[in-house]
Amino acid sequence: MLGNGIIRSNGQLWAHQRKIIAPEFFMDKVKGMVGLMVESTVPLLKKWEAAIDAKGGLATEINVDDDFRSFSADVIARACFGSSYVKGKQIFSKLRTMRTTITKQGFLFGHNSSRFLPNNKKVSTLEREVELLIWETVNQRQQECLDKSSGQKDLMQLILESAVNDASVAPQKFIVDNCKNIYFAGHESTAITASWCLMLLALHPEWQSHIRQEVAKVFTNGLPDADSISRLKMVTMVIQETMRLYPAGAFVTREALEETRIGNILVPKGVCMWTVIPTLHRDPDIWGPDANEFKPERFINGVSKACKSPQGYIPFGLGTRLCLGKNFAMVQLKVLLALIVSKFTFSLSPSYRHSPVFRMLVEPEHGVYIQIQKL
């Protein structure tokens, strides 16, 4: 699924990949992407407006999940790769099919043997198709680089150059693995978090009002820019609380490379430790007796004041392996939520069935359905 890209690699290979990828997601660069994030949101807003108009302006039921996937796919493709949206959409669709096929096998902790994979042939076929599509995109990007010289290089160009110049890695595998990692992490997790955000806001209309009031004060001409996006405190609190209750990543895993003591526990060398993030995020000893309630105001003074230990909140991981796309994901979610809430009011549809399910990421099993109206 992910090969040996930035998410799964260790040691020198991981450090090498991080050196290439991390600078592309520093906040100064992410702020420069706000405009394209707004442009990627516009088709979604128009689609929903058209659906409401078709119902004569009455409340309309919408399944948000596919629209959020299309939005995040568009953003990640345009921001990092300059690839065509159509080819990017094909890659995302096949990666999603591969992910759901793998996670239907009924195993959790990742057996490598093919005997645990009844649909191993289907997975292998999808893997080849994904790699072919990514390589076609890479070749297209190489041609674009040749056709027009630019002083500013995007992420795809940097990965290409690194793969070609580093004799210690196989260029095609290096490029394909990292593209899969970035597509997967930058696309799926953000779209799923956006769906959970809409579900919780639909249940708590008072927070829709808080966001609406904030957007009216902060945005010039009703649209976000690099400066205003950082002043969206209410939006940030809602996203943080959503990721506390429904973190896209279910686990943080670590292997003890030597015998290690954690508190009173002695961890032998070679043992893998799994931290279950949803359990940690709902622990009453860390968050208080209201740990299972949606209360964004707990983050009003930041993460350090929201719980007894800031290490108890890890939607993006922690330490040196902190998610490289944290800034990118947060800004993307702020743009999307602020524009949706400023144009629509919505409630949860009777069609919605609450069933969080683990499929490598924690997602709504039956999708998120809302009843939506224009303001």
Q: What is the pLDDT, as a whole number, of residue 229?
A: 93
> With left for phi above 0 and alpha for psi between -120 and 50, is residue 30 left, alpha or beta?
alpha
Which CATH number fits the domain that encloses residue 209? 1.10.630.10
Q: Confirm whether 262 is domain-assigned.
A: no
Which of 170, 284, 177, 189 is closest to 243 using CA atoms? 189
The tokens for 37 are 């994030």
**Residue 102, pLDDT above cutoff 60:** yes
Q: Confirm whether 310 is domain-assigned.
A: no
For the chain, the C-alpha Rg in angstroms (whole number) is 21
Amino acid (one-letter) located at 164? V
18-22, 30-34, 77-81, 209-213: least confident range: 77-81
Structural element, H or E, at residue 261: strand 260-262
Q: What is the pLDDT, as a whole number, of residue 112?
A: 47
Q: What is the pLDDT, as a whole number, of residue 369?
A: 97
Q: What is the pLDDT, as a whole number, of residue 76?
A: 85
Q: Confirm whether 174 is domain-assigned.
A: yes
Structural element, H or E, at residue 310: none
Q: How far is CA 367 from CA 61, 72, 203, 232, 360, in A?
A: 12, 16, 15, 27, 16
Q: Confirm whether 278 is domain-assigned.
A: no
Which of 61, 92, 58 is closest to 76 using CA atoms? 92
Does 80 count as an annotated binding residue?
A: no
Q: Confirm whether 331 is domain-assigned.
A: yes
Could you tell me which residues are beta bridge partners of residue 374? 344
Q: Confirm whether 87 is domain-assigned.
A: yes
Higher pLDDT, 321 or 65: 65
Pairing of strands 356-358, 260-262: unpaired
Q: Confirm whether 304 is domain-assigned.
A: no
Q: What is the pLDDT, as a whole number, of residue 1?
A: 72
Give the residue-averaged pLDDT of 153-159. Answer: 71
Pairing of strands 344-348, 260-262: unpaired
Which of 204, 227, 191, 185 is closest to 333 using CA atoms? 191
Domain range for 69? 11-249+315-374
Give the residue-averaged pLDDT of 148-153. Answer: 59
Give the residue-averaged pLDDT of 308-324. Answer: 90
Residue pair 137/157 in contact by the 8 Å Cβ criterion: no
Task: For 70, list phi and psi in degrees, rounded to 5.
Answer: -65, -40
**Residue 24, pLDDT above cutoff 90:** no
**Residue 307, pLDDT above cutoff 80:** yes
> For the chain, how many structural domains are there in total?
1
Pairing of strands 265-267, 356-358: unpaired
Confidence of residue 113 (pLDDT cuts 50, 70, 90): very low
Sign of the dihedral defined by the CA atoms of residues 327, 328, 334, 337, in that order? negative
Mean residue pLDDT across the chain: 87
Measure the CA angle with vertex 295, ends 294 and 298; round to 5°.
Answer: 140
**Residues 238-290: tens digit of each pLDDT:** 999 999 999 998 888 889 999 999 889 999 999 999 999 999 999 999 999 99
Q: Confirm whether 175 is domain-assigned.
A: yes
133-137, 213-217, 224-228: least confident range: 133-137
